[in-house]
A and B are shown apart, each in its own frame.
Chain A
Amino acid sequence: MKDIAIKAEHIGKYYRLGQINSGMFYTDAKNWLRHKLGKEDMTLKIGEKSRDRTGFWAIDDISFEIEQGDRVGIIGKNGAGKSTLLKLISQVATLTKGKIGINGNIASLLEVGTGFHPEMTGRENVYLNGAILGMKRAEINQKMDEIIAFSEINEHIDTPVKRYSSGMYVRLAFAVAANLDSDILIADEVLAVGDASFQKRALGKMNELSTGKGRTVLFVSHQMNAVKALCHSGIVLEHGKIIMQDSIDQCIAGYQKHLTDKKTIMDLSHYDNEFFELLGFGLVDQNGKDLVQPLENSQKAFVRIELNMKKIHHSFVIGYSICNSDGEVIYWSYVTDDYKEEKQLKGGRNILMGEIPNHFLNEGEYSIFLSASLHYIQWIVNPEEDAPCLKLHIQGGLSDSPFWTLKRSGVCAPVLKWSVNDPDPRTRIGN
């Protein structure tokens, strides 16, 4: 058995909602006095019994063990408790209950560049930031060249960082963090900075650090690719509870399944609003019948939206947004895209059909979210928040060619036109 690096036992973190106190001493003192006298708290809303009920468990009684050398990705939606968990382990926030045991020293990067001061030079900031993260002066001296090289700051290192571009700033900040020596590394979205090429380099550096030195890594990111590349096991959190702990691939798959499963159970009346009543939202085939899934890529699919329009607004648009299983948006489409005068929505019942072309998307699982808004005015149904969702599973039927029967990489899998030795210049490639 390998040694345990981190062990959490029934840990919990409770946050009180709203105001902790009124922020004014007089009111607080008065309430405290009333409380002592057994009277009702004046700041409570009518009907509330006591203050204690307004709170929630950001981390709700979870236990886990992480072995030394494990690289663990923590996944979950916003507000699932990922960052809180990292804060608890790195001792920035206090536990409400349970206990955590840690072997080895921790470097926690809840953010890069903490403590950077704009007035100080790059070099001074490296010393300060390094020291805040727990490095000794001698260590920093030893690593200074490496830090400067990685950040590509070079001769600007002795310039105050307020004169840096934001890219330089972030590179320098990351370079310090990446050169930390520690047994356990905790990183929260630190890769979500810098441009794409830097992110790639940063990910490479993180990988090198964790594999080379066998250190334990706890990593939070919304970029599933980054998590997949860096970690080999995962923890899925939801509402402060662990709903899954497995290999990273299993976790990501499970998490995505969990997300879509929850969303396909729809209560359409939930989406009623002042503009329309949603009567139906589904996928159908060319004949208007319910789609048989998985769908072959040679077949067309239609998104069918049935509405009862209650109020006509000239800026009203409705359509859908489609995402792949990594949560990346493939495209948005609105009924108004295919604009014609006669295609106006009328009051009362409307049936909209949006075509998803065949030979267009790649094999895989897709989520289709309803999207409706007053153009540039307000969301009615925001596809990125609480929108009804359909699942589309495409498998097989990629092409008629014997050379293309298996899935290729790529977001799309279109069957495109080619010409071979065609004398007609209009079809020549490049024109």
Chain B
Amino acid sequence: MRTTATIAGLMLATTASAETLTIYTYDSFVPEWGPGPAVAAAFEAQCGCEIEFVAAGDGAALLSRLRLEGARTEADIVLGLDSNLVAQARETGLFAPHGVEADFDLPVAWDDDTFLPFDWGYFAFVSSADTEAPANFRELAESDLSIAIQDPRSSTPGLGLVLWVEQAYGEEAGEVWQGLADNVLTVTPGWSEAYGLFLEGEADAVLSYTTSPAYHAIAEEDDSKVAWAFDEGHYLQIEVVAMVEGTDQPELAQDFMAFVATDGFQSVIPTTNWMYPAVTPAEGLPEGFGELVQPETALLYPPQEAAEVREDAIATWRDALAQ
């Protein structure tokens, strides 16, 4: 009995001295130039608590880490899964409803009681402004432009591209990929390597986001990069945050989920994560964002469907490119 009392006392003492909210997220969220520090500072000012970020690779690696840890995870919040991973994340049963009502500025309807969008972007090919832009995948296939893309088996943008072609072309996706095969310079493990190849001039274009030119325009004052607008429409990436069911900080976690949809969080996103905020902040979007390509059609498989078509879409991609 005494030990129990001592342990309980110790636990009370630790929780009283420092309330810490542990947020698992992807790598590029936490550095000093990423959204993490500003987001943490804004939330800590209102909660009187401390935020601890744990960076676990990219979105997919983040989910794997969580599955390895299971219900015993120290995470209170998981931030940075993308919509194509939501079905698998839901299956783990590790997440709790967020109970947040917000007016999202997303190009598609998003209604999910557990996974709350915090930012989004359109996938797009980014090239130099003086490269003649194709208007769709078929034109790209007919051109002799070279593209660097990411592997759908190791990278979330890579998977986004495969689902993009799948949704735009359905049965004809394989044929489109065969046409693109001679345009694909190479397939990289992640976004960074492909983007690096593009910046080195190895590829004419790279799969990235419509918001990528905003980085170059705002941070580097370089207007020479553009995103190609494709008339099939552009596939979306919606990044979500969720609360862990077994959290030992349910109130803090709940407060943080509500905070995500406010300006304190959303105004940080555009010029640190270089994506669109899920809820446009009161001050609007930064200047460079106004000139970005605005796709006419937004494509997105709902999470469950994305999980179902994923395997076949990747097989189509692989078979077409492996010939």
The yes or no verdict on A and B being binding partners is no
